[in-house]
Structure 1
Amino acid sequence: MTDLLVFGRTGQLARELAALAPDATFLGRDAADLTDPAACADAIRRAAPGAVINAAAYTAVDRAESDADTARLVNANSPAAMARACAELGILFLHVSTDYVFDGAGDAPRSEDAPTGPLGVYGATKLAGEQAIAAAGGQWAVLRTSWVFSAYGSNFVKTMLRLGAERDRLTVVADQIGGPTFAADIAAAALTMIGRMRDGATGDVYHFAGWPDVSWAGFACEIVAQAGLSAEVAEIPTADYPTPAPRPLNSRLDCTRIARDFGIMRPDWRAGLGRVLTQLKDKA
């Protein structure tokens, strides 16, 4: 029997959760196939943990446009099965979601109760997962976050470091605005929420993102500066960088609810970036 069961093992969030909660049980694809909802539910029943965190997802935003069935299984059907199993057994369930559930209109930060309107398959399947979790009942929470980065896996920071070392000029979108979020900060927030929910705190949908909000181009400038690279960052509009799945222009998240209910404040992503650069240098 394990006290904390985590779906995911090699992803950015799972790796950071493992550093903070080494005694938890982590299920990779070999132990829990997220394209098999029944198998995910069975894994929870077998482990009978005190709490479950779903840190796994189908995050290939562009590929999801042509692979909707798989994205739906991983992002909606399996989390729904997990939530139902947890509700039946009285187990806490925390699921990680995304800013892509919104349409990205306007320039105001979106609250948890703001109207949703995903622009593509990825966002639509993540929203379907959120709705199914709420419908399952039990003690649950959904943690929406944005622009995740870490020293692990593939992410914007590592891409900019690679390209910035190879090129003199980087062209980066400047009209998409959001909060970059260090995966270790998400892991810490998730564990804090689980701890408080064990003490009786009620669950809900929560937003958690790094501060301050910035454009991808502004994020790139900070990466280049902190890494000591000489590459120039040239700003371009989204229209000049077409992708199979449209991106929300406004990914600002209002994070006051998580501060009110759990005392969790928005972390400065620039400090998280410094930690990632140190980790990557140590690994090299």
Structure 2
Amino acid sequence: MKILVTGANGQLGRDIVKILGTRHEVYGLGREQLDITNEKQCENVLKDLNPDVIIHTAAYTAVDLAEKETELAFLVNAQGTKNLAITAESIGAKFCYISTDYVFDGTATNAYREDDEANPQSVYGKSKRAGEQHVQLLSSKFFIVRTSWVYGIYGANFVKTMLNLAKSRDSLMVVNDQFGSPTYTVDLVLFLEKLIKTEQYGIFHVSNAGICSWFKFACAIFEESGVKVQVNPCTTEEFPRSAPRPRNSAMQHEAIRANGFDEMRPWREALKAFLKELEESK
């Protein structure tokens, strides 16, 4: 397959290019090669490359800063996505948009299904939801993949942050009243590869199996890596941030099962694999 990846310098984008590049014709474009907010450039680049599939990972992801930079967040996440979706449709390409658990308000008592009502509370979440709506309206061959708590070998993420903090501290405080599903980029990429080969279009919730709190996730990181540090639970109120976080962003994988795909492995198993990858990369 001929695959164009936006945001190719990001955490997920780099793994997509690396893994899928071994068996597909992959064009990884960063902001220097493709400014998604430039409608004409999107049209020229996409028509020139004429890919079978566009995997759109480029995004404004500074969740707290977005509360101040509302216009920029919407320019990138909403208008940028719209620009790509319009041209993707005109060249007949499948469009895979990477979205987020932040489209939900986090008040549900159960894990969110794909057809549950989106009600984003943060500017970041609202801008990503606007991107979803553009994709649904403009593309006839779309996959919207909502994922959560993503970590991988490239870029900054929660796992790396915890391990780095433990080098200089004896104890850490981690939020224990926000729940979700961690997602390892490698597992996400392998799922995306299976998905884009099909015509099973729609919204998919994609994360490693199982649910935990950030506190439980942190404890598991240290247990699996053999790092000795005291982890203390705290509440969201004790750790204030500019942008509201969903208290519950756990996602059910109904679309994965309904379309005959295999569930991704449990999050703790994936964490072990990542820590091994991290160790081997040193």
1:45-84 to 2 correspondences below 5 Å: 45-84=47-86
Shift of 1:13: 1.1
> Could you tell which deviates more after superposition, 184-193 or 118-127?
184-193
> What do residues 130-152 of structure 1 show as CA deviations (whole Å, max 9, x unaligned)?
00110003211100000001121
1:63-142 alignment runs, 5 A limit: 63-142=65-144
CA contact (8 A) 2:114 2:203 kept: yes
Question: 2:154 aligns to what?
Answer: 152
The CA deviation string for residues 206-250 of structure 1, in whole angstroms up to 9 with x for no partner, is 101112100000000000111111101100000101001010000
Summarize the Cα distance change of 1:94–1:262 in structure 2 as closer, same or farther, 3 Å threshold: farther
Moved more, 55-64 or 36-45: 36-45
Which stretch of the first structure deviates more once superposed, 103-112 or 36-45?
36-45
Give CA-to-partner distance per residue, 1:1-28, whole Å, 9 cap, x none: x811111212111122122211301001
Paired residues in the alignment total 279
- The Cα offsets for residues 171-216 of structure 1, whole Å up to 9 and x where unpaired, read as 000000000000111111111111112xxx3x11110111210000
| TM-score, with length taken from structure 1 | 0.95
CA distance in 2, matches of 1:136, 1:264: 29
Which residue of the partner structure matches residue 226 of structure 1?
Answer: 224
Aligned equivalent of 1:267: 265
User: For residue 12 of structure 2, what is the aligned residue in structure 1?
Assistant: 13
TM-score normalised over the length of structure 2: 0.95
The one-letter code matched in structure 1 to 2:142 is W
Q: Is the CA contact (8 Å cut-off) linking 1:161 and 1:224 kept in structure 2?
A: yes
Following TM superposition, by how much is the alpha carbon of 1:262 offset from its aligned partner in structure 2, in angstroms?
4.3
- Aligned-CA RMSD value: 1.3
| Partner Cα separation in structure 2 for residue 276 and residue 258 of structure 1 | 23
Kindly provide the CA deviation profile for residues 29-88 of structure 1, in whole angstroms up to 9, marking residues without a partner as x: 110113324322332111111111101111110011111111111111111111111111
Consecutive unaligned residues in structure 1, runs of 5 or more: none
Gaps of 5+ in 2: none
Aligned residues of 2:174 and 2:231 also touching (Cα < 8 A)? yes
SS state at 1:142 partner: strand
> Distance in 2 between the 1:269 and 1:70 partners?
33
8 Å CA contact 1:34, 1:73 repeated in 2: no
AA matched with 2:15: E
Q: Hey, what does 1:214 align to over in structure 2?
A: 212
SS in 2 for 1:267: coil
Percent of pairs with identical residues: 36
Letter in 2 for 1:27: L
Residue 239 of structure 1 corresponds to 237
